[in-house]
Amino acid sequence: MPAPRRATIAERTLRTDRWWVQPLLTVVALVLFIIYATFRAFQNAYYLSEPYISPFYSPCITTQCEGDTFPELFTGPAWISPALYILIFPLGFRLTCYYYRKAYYRSFWLSPPACAVAEPHRRYSGESRFPLVLNNGHRYFFYAGLVFNVILSYDAVLAFRDPDGAWGHMGLGTLVLLANAVLLWLYSLSCHSCRHIVGGRLNAFSRHPLRYRFWTVASRLNAHHMRWAWTSLFGVALTDLYVLLVASDTIRDLRFF
């Protein structure tokens, strides 16, 4: 059976509300983040102020890295920022995320820009061709994202030291790194792939009570996945900004004890 055609309506949309506000805000927010993150990833400076490290540079895996937060795995050219070696994993995780796919398909490609608003494209191939077919690899980026969450949580634990490495201290930066790690966990655990991994392909939940529990928690978080996607994105940027300001002596870290 041929697919039914769209109704022939001359207008692009019959909506009279401001349907364009949401895609516009999405474009503005994502473009601002991309500009900031690109600048910081290439800056190759001000990413460490003991005991805090920026999430853009963690894990820092080359011998050019400042500090000693992670095993230095190789020596790369000094002009290559350590952030660039690890960028593909958080970037791939976000780019292939089901929520962000919806967000950028709508706001950047207008495909479609909003419900009941016709898209400008004549043809539609979905995610069956390169490069969008790569979006189907989301679950592998999810696994990589979990590894990063563990590392950034470890960074938050290390932040309970003072600048000289003595344990049992805390500053505002400790709270910032902790909040960032929590938001990243909420974002990952609310992932659609996570929900399927823990609770999918089962015939009877009654035979898998533990997985049923995980699935219940993942499902509850999943209902707010968009919220965790945005708050964790802002969280990463603000955490990096805090480390940048402290490392460049623009502000002083507020020490509690």
- Tell me how many residues contact ligand FES (CB under 6 A): 9
Q: What is the DSSP string of 130-170?
A: TTGGGGGGHHHHHHHHHHHHHHHHHHHHHTTB-TTS-BS--
Q: Does 193 bind ligand FES (CB under 6 A)?
A: yes
The Cβ of residue 37 has, within 10 Å, a number of other Cβ atoms equal to: 19
Length of the chain: 257
Range in contact with ligand FES (rule: CB under 6 A) among 29-37, 39-47, 185-193, 241-249: 185-193
Report the nearest approach of ligand FES to the CB of residue 61 (Å): 23
Is 193 in contact with 92 (CB distance < 8 Å)? Answer: no
Give the footprint of ligand FES on residues 63-122 (CB under 6 A): 97-99
Report the nearest approach of ligand FES to the CB of residue 141 (Å): 8
Q: Of 47, 69, 51, 46, whose CA–CA distance to 59 is shortest?
A: 69
CB of 194 to ligand FES, least distance (A): 7
DSSP helix/strand/coil, 48: strand
Find out whether 247 and 47 touch, Cβ atoms under 8 Å.
yes
Residue whose CB is less far from ligand FES, 139 or 169: 139
- Binding positions for ligand FES, 115-174, rule CB under 6 A: 138, 142
| 19 versus 98: smaller Cβ distance to ligand FES | 98
- Taking the least distance from each CB to ligand FES, the nearer of 65 and 191 is 191
Measured between its terminal Cα atoms, the distance across the chain in Å is 71
CA distances from 219 to 135, 173, 211 (A): 22, 31, 12
- Binding-site string for ligand FES from residue 218 to residue 257, where x marks contact by CB under 6 A and - marks none: -------x--------------------------------
Q: Which residues bind ligand FES (CB under 6 A)?
A: 97-99, 138, 142, 191-193, 225
